[in-house]
Chain A
Amino acid sequence: MLEVSNLACSRGDHRLFSGLSFMLHPGQIMQVQGANGSGKTSLLRTLCGFMMPDEGDIVWRGESIRELDEEYYAEMLYLGHLNAIKDELSALENLQISAGLSGIELDEKEALAALRRMGLRGRERLPTKVLSQGQRRRVALARLLASDAALWILDEPLTALDVGAVELIQELLAEHLARQGMVIFTTHQPLQVAGAEMRSLSLS
């Protein structure tokens, strides 16, 4: 369970939001909405612990994430604007390494299965620099399949994806929620997840 209380955040002198409180229970999904520059990414980065909030606290399973640190990171997965994939490495190597960094050893069979499910059949061993923007995003999103994290923090996961891939992401989110996972994400595209009520948080 993620609990945010009275959170305030600023960028330089500019106050982005203050007094933000919400709770996210297992099986819940929440969309953060707001205009460009309203602080969606800053909120998500604060939840990851990259930025210190000005005020307020973020509590994961009853303890502040500042104190949990590595225990919290073992249970969360963050996908940001940047894909975190290397042009020189193949899709397969990229997935195995990024899973490895998050503490999961993925053998080749599991990694290939994840990439194929993301629609990258036949491109698993190509260097990612020859892939299109959408395909690179798919490589990055394949990490969702290779993770046992309870909390997913996704910043604009649908950028550069085609209709088929968006449907696939909806499926993945539904599966994750059915496993009592939690999702908090931002997007400017419509997104429906079967079998779960979409909560929304507006930043203005």
Chain B
Amino acid sequence: MKKSTLLGLLVLVIRRDLVLAMRRRADVLTTLIFFVMVVSLFPLGVGPEMSMLRKMAPGVLWVAALLSSMLSLGRLFSADYLDGTLEQMMLAPQSLSMLVLGKMTAHWMVSGLPLVLMAPVLGLQFDMPVQALGVLIIGLLLGTPVLSMVGAIGAALTLGLRGGGVLLSLLVLPLCIPVLIFGTGAVEAVSTGLSVASHLSLLGALLVLALVFTPWVTAQALRISME
């Protein structure tokens, strides 16, 4: 029997959540299919006018990504809460924040990363230029982890509540507005020929801020929910 390290613990939690996600593939696919459906409905609903589609593309893609990440947040802690694993996580002799960070990372890899990879394909439906697609991907790459991390706070606070899903969206969506603004702002800037550096730097700053604070806040929220 060997003692495990903090990094070992992080890897263990991420691997565990990924294995579980692979064995429950339907959950992962719903998020992705929802994203594809919502984005695809717009060109059908609005009509094939290219200039309009190009203009609304970043907004539609970002809002759809935001909504589909909400969809999977409820599952972040609920399964572990119901089967008692979360109790055992609280009793782990290492820091609970680290465990939470592991769960957030796995959640992003399962529900955020597929959206990022799918976005350029969907962007083509809106006739987005290649340059704008590139900025969109970078923006999503920086922004979706923030959605997972901020969402985790809401998921921890609404744990075990009936009708927690709606409450979760009400709590988390307002907090995600800055990500939405800077994410779409970056794509619009590149379309109009302005510099994207400021928008992307701000997104990066949000990511760093979330990375530092949200695991700890989520861990505290979980402790409150478990009482």
Q: How far is the CB of B224 from chain A (nearest CB, A)?
A: 11
Q: Are B93 and A89 in contact (CB-based, < 8 A)?
A: no
What are 25 A-B pairs with beta-carbon distances under 8 A? A48-B91, A49-B90, A49-B91, A50-B87, A50-B226, A70-B93, A78-B91, A82-B82, A84-B85, A84-B87, A84-B88, A86-B79, A88-B20, A100-B4, A101-B12, A101-B88, A101-B89, A102-B92, A103-B3, A103-B4, A103-B9, A103-B92, A104-B3, A104-B4, A148-B1
Tell me the nearest residue of chain B to A70, going by C-beta. B93
For A15-51 the 0/1 string (1 means CB < 8 A from B) is: 0000000000000000000000000000000001111
Q: Is A93 an interface residue (CB 8 A)?
A: yes
Q: Is B227 an interface residue (CB 8 A)?
A: yes
Q: How far is the CB of B12 from chain A (nearest CB, A)?
A: 5
Q: Which B160-210 residues have C-beta < 8 A from chain A?
A: none
A78 to B226, alpha carbons, bound, how many Å? 15
* A146 cross-chain contacts in B, Cβ below 8 A: 1
* A110 cross-chain contacts in B, Cβ below 8 A: 1
Q: Are A97 and B16 in contact (CB-based, < 8 A)?
A: yes
For A67-86 the 0/1 string (1 means CB < 8 A from B) is: 00011011011101111111
Q: Is A203 an interface residue (CB 8 A)?
A: no
Q: How far is the CB of B16 from chain A (nearest CB, A)?
A: 5
Q: Is A98 an interface residue (CB 8 A)?
A: yes
Q: Are A102 and B2 in contact (CB-based, < 8 A)?
A: no
* A48 cross-chain contacts in B, Cβ below 8 A: 87, 91
Q: How far is the CB of A11 from chain B (nearest CB, A)?
A: 11
Q: Are A86 and B226 in contact (CB-based, < 8 A)?
A: no
* A82 cross-chain contacts in B, Cβ below 8 A: 82-84, 87
Number of interface residues of B (CB under 8 A): 30
A80 to B86, alpha carbons, bound, how many Å? 12
Q: Are A98 and B4 in contact (CB-based, < 8 A)?
A: no
Q: Is B30 an interface residue (CB 8 A)?
A: no
Q: Is B19 an interface residue (CB 8 A)?
A: yes
Q: Taking A88-B20, A88-B24, A97-B12 as contacts, is the C-beta distance between A102 and B1 under 8 angstroms?
A: no
* A77 cross-chain contacts in B, Cβ below 8 A: 91
Given contacts A89-B16, A105-B1, 20 further A-B contacts (CB under 8 A): A48-B87, A50-B226, A51-B227, A52-B227, A74-B93, A78-B87, A82-B82, A84-B84, A84-B85, A84-B88, A88-B20, A97-B12, A101-B13, A101-B99, A102-B92, A104-B4, A105-B2, A105-B3, A105-B4, A110-B1
**Residue of B3, B84, B226 with most partner-chain A CB within 10 A:** B84
Q: Which B1-19 residues have C-beta < 8 A from chain A?
A: 1-4, 8-9, 12-13, 16, 19
Q: Are A70 and B226 in contact (CB-based, < 8 A)?
A: no
For A122-141 the 0/1 string (1 means CB < 8 A from B) is: 00000000000000000000
A103 to B92, alpha carbons, bound, how many Å? 7
* B8 cross-chain contacts in A, Cβ below 8 A: 100, 105
* A71 cross-chain contacts in B, Cβ below 8 A: 93
* A52 cross-chain contacts in B, Cβ below 8 A: 227
A102 to B1, alpha carbons, bound, how many Å? 12
Q: Which B89-139 residues have C-beta < 8 A from chain A?
A: 89-95, 99
Q: Are A73 and B227 in contact (CB-based, < 8 A)?
A: no
* B2 cross-chain contacts in A, Cβ below 8 A: 104-105
Q: Is A165 an interface residue (CB 8 A)?
A: no
**Residue of B13, B19, B24, B85 with most partner-chain A CB within 10 A:** B85
